[in-house]
Amino acid sequence: LVQRRLGMPVLNLDQLLVEIVQRRKPLDFDRLWAGQPDQPLRVVASALTSECSVALGSDEGSWRSLPELAHCMRASMLLPGICGPVVPLNNSRGEVEPHADAMLFEPIPYRLAVREGATHVLVLRTRPDGVNVVRRQSIFERLIAWRFFERKMRMPHMYKHMRNQQHRQRYAEDILLLNEAAKQSQADSGIHIRWRSGPGPPEPVQLCQVALQPGERGPEVSNLQTDAGVTRSGRDRAEMRCRDLS
């Protein structure tokens, strides 16, 4: 019934999260699990009823096996109206709540890290400065948001969120804050964070951003990037920044 009501997804995540991650080239989950005490993995997604971003980790019991981790990853990358139905997961209150792509409430996933006490945050950006992130919504985008959230999921609050482009406004706010942090990258004191939604932590935070592109200003990395060299370059630059922070 759910499949008939929602229709077939435009992008089927099963190929990546089931066929590849779990079967053809399975993730070394034992190694990942062994590193959790020292380097915990936190998967960021959007809780659609609570209207906030959430971190899905092993400590909270969100995942303790490869299939459960893949389920959380599905929520984190599920584009509304594109990748199928929302993902039901238990929230902090022990209730089942629908979840979807982290971009809805945390388009650049660093806020949760700051709220959880991180003093140094490394941010990988796929878009260079100068890209218009608060552009006018197309009719196609508005139609998808209305059809998925208003008509099918019965979530008018989420349709309003998308219609008002609140996710893009938050993205623009984060870009401005990260650029301000980059100006102070040589200082050891960090910056005091204050978001439109409220103040950040009382202590200053070191924010370092790395763009996945050659040079300070380069072409935008598309969502369907298939050139491994581009992502490897970004990874190498990120590792260099990590060493700078240590």
- More confidently predicted of 230 and 15: 15
Angle in degrees, CA 211, 129, 124, rounded to 5: 25
Q: How confident is the model at residue 1 (pLDDT cuts 50, 70, 90)?
A: very low
Residues 62/72, Cβ–Cβ less than 8 Å: yes
With H, G, I as helix, E, B as strand and everything else as coil, classify residue 209.
strand
Residues 109/56, Cβ–Cβ less than 8 Å: no
Q: How confident is the model at residue 217 (pLDDT cuts 50, 70, 90)?
A: very low
Residues 89-100 pLDDT 10s: 999 888 999 999
Report the C-alpha gap between 215 and 234 in whole angstroms.
11
Residues 133-184 pLDDT 10s: 667 788 888 899 999 999 999 999 999 999 999 999 999 899 888 888 877 7
Q: What's the confidence (pLDDT) of residue 2?
A: 41
Angle in degrees, CA 77, 83, 88, rounded to 5: 70
Helix boundaries (H) for 54-123: 66-77, 111-115
